[in-house]
Amino acid sequence: MNNNFKILAVFEFSTEAHVTKSRLDSDGFTTMLMDEKTIDTDPLVSNAIGGVKLLVHKNDFEKAAVVYNEIRTYQKDKNDKDISCPKCSSTRILIAPIQRKNVFYMLFPFFEKTRHICNDCKTIF
């Protein structure tokens, strides 16, 4: 990876990455994708290699992060309503990374309850 670029976001498939990359490119940011061709060749390896990485030039990273946070998709509840953070009331909620500390959840990950994280205050609930 070029030292002049930082990873802004990681996507499971290249099509998702291209949509965000196109928006950032149209706003004048210097971007590139990493591992795109590998995942396009075999989508099943996406989790193994960490997905398609969207790279942004390090000088534009902070401004690009603001744009990305405005356009990204946030979680909704079963009734298609925004989920609110219990701490700061933000509706910019994402799915929290899974932490399989128990052997049972390593063997049966589908039993683990989904947790959410606020994109603003980083509260996990």
Mean pLDDT per block of 10 residues along the chain (125 residues) reads 85 91 95 93 84 94 92 85 89 78 74 82 86
Say whether both 13 and 61 belong to one domain: yes
Q: What is the pLDDT of residue 57?
A: 95
Say whether both 36 and 63 belong to one domain: yes
Tell me how far apart the terminal alpha carbons of the chain are, to the nearest angstrom: 34
Q: What is the pLDDT of residue 1?
A: 55
Q: What is the pLDDT of residue 2?
A: 65
Range of the domain at 16: 5-71
Q: Is the pTM of this model over 0.95?
A: no
Q: Which of 46, 93, 87 is nearest to 72 (CA)?
A: 93
Cα 57 to the center of its chain, rounded Å? 18
Number of domains in the chain: 2
